[in-house]
Structure 1
Amino acid sequence: MSDLAPHVSAWLRERLPRELGASENTCETYTHALRLWFEYAAKHHKVRPSQLTLEQLDVSTVTGFCEYLETIRGNTARTRNTRLATIRSFMRFVEYRVPAALDQVRQIRAIPNKCWATIILAGRRQLS
């Protein structure tokens, strides 16, 4: 089992701000997204967030989290996609640190975004 904490700390404290130059606000947004995901996963697996392992953050946990965001939290598809982008970014970081997780990372990164519509002032709809 892979301990999750060192990867989370390295991603949030080193990779994002120092290597990628992410702003403080971006880091806080990513931290919030991970906190929500870990709280959901911990409840799903009936453990404390500090006891989660990398193996428990599988594709079914991510898709369940996306459903939770929309149905329970009332988030829009756009917010769901933003949270999913954070998860994908974190997992892309993990794939270089934990080679045994390559298949898990591939499956999670393959989860599609959900389409969402916005209404343009002219009244037309645009899908993205």
Structure 2
Amino acid sequence: MRCCSSRCICCGVNGFLAFSSAFLVSTGVGFEYILAKHAATAAQKLPSLADKRITPHVLRHTCAMHTLKATRDVRKVSLWLGHASLQSTEIYLRADPTEKLEALAAMAPPSLKPDRFAAPDKLLAMLKSIGRSTNYVE
């Protein structure tokens, strides 16, 4: 059976619609279909992927996070993603825990001067009594 026009992207084949690869790639649904197919194949080699929801948005987000980690430049991430403003890209700064860890590591630890701690006698007596007691809620 021939297609109804030269621009038709599908034709009947054994009762099913056979879509052209150009249609599948050019539409979001088509890309999701191809991605799901490849994710299922990858899950056979890496079973932990089977529990994950892999979508085009997840790929886009992962790419953005890798670009941010590699360049440390939010402007490049914004350019890569095609965002109109940097405000749209700032969410990736908050999503990256390494930024927070680096800031924490850059801070100097609190300086404590070595000294002897002398606990008050009342505190020591209370702790000793709790240690001997079997009923801790007194």
| TM band (smaller chain) | under 0.3
Normalising by structure 2, we get a TM-score of 0.26
Normalising by structure 1, we get a TM-score of 0.27
Q: Which structure: greater helix fraction? A: 1
Q: Tell me which structure has the larger Cα radius of gyration.
A: 2
Greater relative contact order, per chain length (Cα 8 Å cut-off, separation 6+) = 1
